[in-house]
């Protein structure tokens, strides 16, 4: 297969590109990425010279460019991750989110439709796989603030902490109720993907995943930002009371699910991806402080005083909790990593890769692109 992975220089995309390039030497993997502030080719240093990998700097909104690339490369699969992804940025600049997430997805869909309609076998053997988020479902209530046993246990949630904070979960048939400009734009893009299947028969699949964590995440998101701040003994800005709940999945487990669903998922279906692994923000933050302190040889918990409660995020969704039992039942996917193991691995990675972090926080990685791609 010849596959375009959009957003492959970002956090999750880089893990998906790495997995596909290494696992499928017979495929051609084309990483299509605009290299916004969130794209970083250093995330792919280890595979950039592999013969089955190609990087193309392109905006997904560039319909003509994407169409030409699809025709030139005889692309038969698209895994679409490129998006603006940070809720706080979407609150400040909703237009960019509508442009990239909605118009960009529409441009990808229309290019796929046009390119594949011109093929002798049309849609046969083709796949348009759209990566989305659980945030499109809105917010769940915290009906059990002290925690109850969740209905399922997975490897991810099999540690000491094993709680759900409500009795409702996001299932695939739930009505979309996005609250932030980010989730509204992702919801809109999901609707366009389904509309292209229902109207034109485009072979689409949508998945909605919970919060990811792991190496190469841009340090504006909770986990890498806080690991870096703890290391440098900088304040940890906790929104509101720190009671909001997120459901966390190790990024490589998401990439494995994407691989499985791309190959075995049923066209027109939606699959939720998650590990039944709910945590209150403040509890995760305490785990991060203890882990960073221990790995740096500081007394465990010495940095608890960095916790700084700040004004809450506008429209801050209370609880996300995803029910991924359909994916487990129908395709046999399971997270491979227990959460505490994943956090330990993640903290170690950021501490061991300070140069990567410094390049990102100083903005040096952006200058590198401008030199490298100034002639494009």
Binding track, positions 263-282, relative to ligand TYD; x by CB under 6 A: ------------------x-
User: Given strand 28-33, what is the order of strands in its sheet?
Assistant: 53-57, 28-33, 2-6, 77-80, 127-133, 204-209, 270-273
What is the nearest approach in angstroms of ligand TYD to the Cβ of residue 242? 6
Position of tokens 């080719």? 41
Among residues 244, 338, 366, 273, the alpha carbon closest in space to that of 346 is found at 338
Question: Per rule CB under 6 A, is residue 154 in the interface with ligand NAD?
Answer: no
Residue 80 CB, shortest distance to ligand NAD, in Å, is 7
What is the smallest separation between the CB atom of 347 and ligand NAD, expressed in angstroms?
A: 17
The residues assigned a catalytic role are 134-135, 182
When the beta carbons of 14 and 183 are compared against ligand TYD, the nearer one is 183
Burial 150-161 (b: 16+ CB within 10 A, else e): beeebbbbbeeb
Q: Which two tokens stand for residue 50?
A: 């592999």
Q: Give the binding range for ligand NAD (CB under 6 A) out of 35-43, 113-121, 147-155, 237-245.
A: 35-43
12 versus 347: smaller Cβ distance to ligand NAD: 12
Cα–Cα dist 372/78, whole Å: 26
Is residue 238 part of the contact set for ligand TYD (CB under 6 A)?
Answer: yes
Our finding on whether 221 is near ligand TYD (CB under 6 A) is yes
- CB atoms < 10 A from the CB of 121, how many? 9
Helix (H) or strand (E) holding 11: helix 11-23
Contacts of 66 (CB under 8 A, 6+ apart): 32, 58, 60, 107, 108, 111
Whose Cβ is closer to ligand NAD: residue 136's or residue 238's? Answer: 136
Shortest separation between residue 291's beta carbon and ligand TYD, angstroms: 17
Nearest approach in angstroms of CB 225 to ligand TYD is 5
Asked if residue 257 binds ligand TYD (CB under 6 A), the reply is no
Our finding on whether 13 is near ligand NAD (CB under 6 A) is yes
222 binds ligand TYD (CB under 6 A): yes
Residue 204: which of ligand NAD, ligand TYD, none does it interact with, CB under 5 to 8 A by kind? none
First to last CA, the chain: 27
Site for ligand NAD in 75-104 (CB under 6 A): 81-85, 100, 104
Q: Of 237, 268, 302, 304, which one interacts with ligand TYD (CB under 6 A)?
A: 237
Instruction: Please give the order of strands across the beta sheet that includes 245-250.
Output: 211-213, 245-250, 278-280
Distance CA 273, CA 285 (A): 23
Nearest Cα to Cα of residue 205 among 126, 130, 112: 130
Q: Give whichever of 62 and 269 is closer to ligand NAD, judged by the CB atom.
A: 62
The answer to whether residue 38 forms part of the interface with ligand NAD (CB under 6 A) is: yes
């Amino acid at each position: 297969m010849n596959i375009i992975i959009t957003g492959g220089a970002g956090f999750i995309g880089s893990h998906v590109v790495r997995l596909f390039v290494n696992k499928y030497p017979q495929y051609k993997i084309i990483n299509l990425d605009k290299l916004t502030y969130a794209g970083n080719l250093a995330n792919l240093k280890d595979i950039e010279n592999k013969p089955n990998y190609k990087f193309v700097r392109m905006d997904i909104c560039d319909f003509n460019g994407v169409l030409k690339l699809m025709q030139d490369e005889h692309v038969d699969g698209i895994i679409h991750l490129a998006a603006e992804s940070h809720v706080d940025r979407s609150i400040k600049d909703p237009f960019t989110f509508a442009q990239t997430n909605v118009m960009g997805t529409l441009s990808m869909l229309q290019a796929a439709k046009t390119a594949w309609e011109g093929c002798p076998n049309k849609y046969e053997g083709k796949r348009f796989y759209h990566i989305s988020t659980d945030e499109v479902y809105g917010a769940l209530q915290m009906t059990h603030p002290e925690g109850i046993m969740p209905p399922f246990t997975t490897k991810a949630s099999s540690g000491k902490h094993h709680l759900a904070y409500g009795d409702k979960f996001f299932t695939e048939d739930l009505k979309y109720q996005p609250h932030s400009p980010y989730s509204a734009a992702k919801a809109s893009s999901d609707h366009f993907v389904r509309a292209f299947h229902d109207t034109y028969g485009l072979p689409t699949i949508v998945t909605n995943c919970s919060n990811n964590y792991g190496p190469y995440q841009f340090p504006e998101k909770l986990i890498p930002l806080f690991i870096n701040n703890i290391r440098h003994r900088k304040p940890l800005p906790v929104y509101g009371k720190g009671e909001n709940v997120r459901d966390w999945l190790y990024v490589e487990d998401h990439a494995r699910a994407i691989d499985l669903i791309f190959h075995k998922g049923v066209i027109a279906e939606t699959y939720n991806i998650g590990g039944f692994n709910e945590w209150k923000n403040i509890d995760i933050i305490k785990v991060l402080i203890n882990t960073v302190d221990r790995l740096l040889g500081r007394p465990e918990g010495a940095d608890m005083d960095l916790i700084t409660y700040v004004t809450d995020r506008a429209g801050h969704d209370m609880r996300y909790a995803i029910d991924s039992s359909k994916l487990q039942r129908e395709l046999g996917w399971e997270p491979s990593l227990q959460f505490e193991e994943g956090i330990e691995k993640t903290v170690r990675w950021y501490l061991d890769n300070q140069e990567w972090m410094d390049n990102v926080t100083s903005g040096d990685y952006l200058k590198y692109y401008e030199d490298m791609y100034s002639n494009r």
